[in-house]
Amino acid sequence: MHIHKRISYFAFAFVALMLFSREALAFDNGSVVEREIRAESLRNSKIGTDSVRRLSIYLPPGYATSRQQYPVVYVLPNPIGDFREDFTRHSAAKIFDQAIAAKVIPPCIFVYADFSTPLGLSWYANSPVTGNWDDFAVKELVPYIDTNFRTLAKSSSRAIIGNFIGGYGALRLGFLHPDVFGTVYAMHPVGTWSGVEVFTSRPDWALLEHANSLAQVQNAGFSTLFLSMFQAFLPNTAKAPLYVDLPMEETSGHFTVNADRMRLLRSRFFIAELVPQHVDQIKQLRALKIDWPRSDSIYDHVYANQALTHLLNEYGIEHEAEEFNGIGEEDAYWGKSSRITKEVLPFLGEHLDAEQQ
């Protein structure tokens, strides 16, 4: 009888220990929840952008059991891939867990949203053709997160970061809305300014001029990329099927620049063109950093980012800028050099306001 009691005791203790270990493990790790939001800002787009947007949201360890409010980081990954790739391929949740445990960053909520269009790229701008993406981000996504999660709902406690075209989006939304996003980190941004090659050298202008359907240009490389840009910044809802005013005009089989359209495109698209238009707003940012690899095979991006940091200095806009080596690294941010861990998260940890309201 005594032996049986001791066996029962140890069995109970073992089960209790296992349950405790599982609870402790759950507490020590954050979780990723999936949500959907119906975006009124995107309902009337000419190219049929789905107004139902998917979200993936990282909640930090202890979120479910605490009453704490949390800073929020809005992440814009490169939209050429799946918006969830940081979680599915790069173990982002584990990296966030480790950064919080090491006190590199305070416990934060990380928000990923699908910003893709039928052509792939929204460029984070309002357009009657692709949808009002700026409005979606600022007037719908941020309020949804603040309403449905325990956030520190103030700009000093919000950051926006992005990679490549997502880096462009982080700069654009941050520069235009410092009252919403107080801290900005743009990783390897594109579209910051003119490059080495002439702007008009990339697309197949004959394809864009004579396309009979959107499907004809959905997988056409640079032509698809630039068409998405024109739909965002040179929209024309009366010109089906592409709904754009092209910045090049055809005359007798030859294409020449339409100066008025090119001037309008540049003033709306390039990040550097936004700087003189919004200097006072940009100076309201709590913190700003840009970085890029000098080994980028498209040297235009290196050249343009070097020019952008000089321009920011010309206007007295405080920021950090770094050109790093990056040679041989398949993914400089999530790969073995892990700039997310070494650079991005420490920057957020330094500048995000985590003080409870």
Per-residue model confidence as pLDDT tens digits over 25-80: 444 799 999 999 999 999 999 999 999 999 999 999 999 999 999 999 999 998 88
pLDDT tens digit sequence for 230-277: 999 999 999 999 999 999 999 888 999 999 999 999 999 999 999 999
Q: How far apart are CA 303 and CA 234, in angstroms?
A: 25
Per the structure block, which two tokens stand in for 54? 């998917």
Give the residue from 153, 143, 139, 214 showing the smallest Cα distance to 182: 153
Tens place of pLDDT per residue across the chain (357 aa): 444 444 443 444 433 334 333 333 444 799 999 999 999 999 999 999 999 999 999 999 999 999 999 999 999 998 888 999 999 999 999 999 999 999 999 999 999 999 999 988 999 999 999 999 999 999 999 999 999 999 999 999 999 999 999 999 999 999 999 999 999 999 999 999 998 888 889 999 999 999 999 999 998 999 999 999 999 999 999 999 999 999 999 988 899 999 999 999 999 999 999 999 999 999 999 999 999 999 998 999 999 999 999 999 999 999 999 999 986 556 889 987 799 999 999 999 999 999 998
Q: How far is Cα of residue 134 from the mean position of the Cα atoms in its chain?
A: 12
Q: How far apart are CA 281 and CA 276, in angstroms?
A: 10
Q: How far apart are CA 312 and CA 91, in angstroms?
A: 34
Give the residue from 180, 176, 129, 194 showing the smallest Cα distance to 151: 180
Q: Do 294 and 190 meet the contact criterion of CB atoms below 8 Å apart? A: no
**pTM of this structure:** 0.91
Give the residue from 92, 152, 106 showing the smallest Cα distance to 351: 106
Q: How far is Cα of residue 324 from the mean position of the Cα atoms in its chain?
A: 20
Q: How far apart are CA 357 and CA 349, in angstroms?
A: 18
Q: Do 247 and 233 meet the contact criterion of CB atoms below 8 Å apart? A: no
Name the 3-class secondary structure at 218: coil
Domains plus CATH for the chain?
Answer: 31-194+279-351 (3.40.50.1820), 199-261 (no CATH)
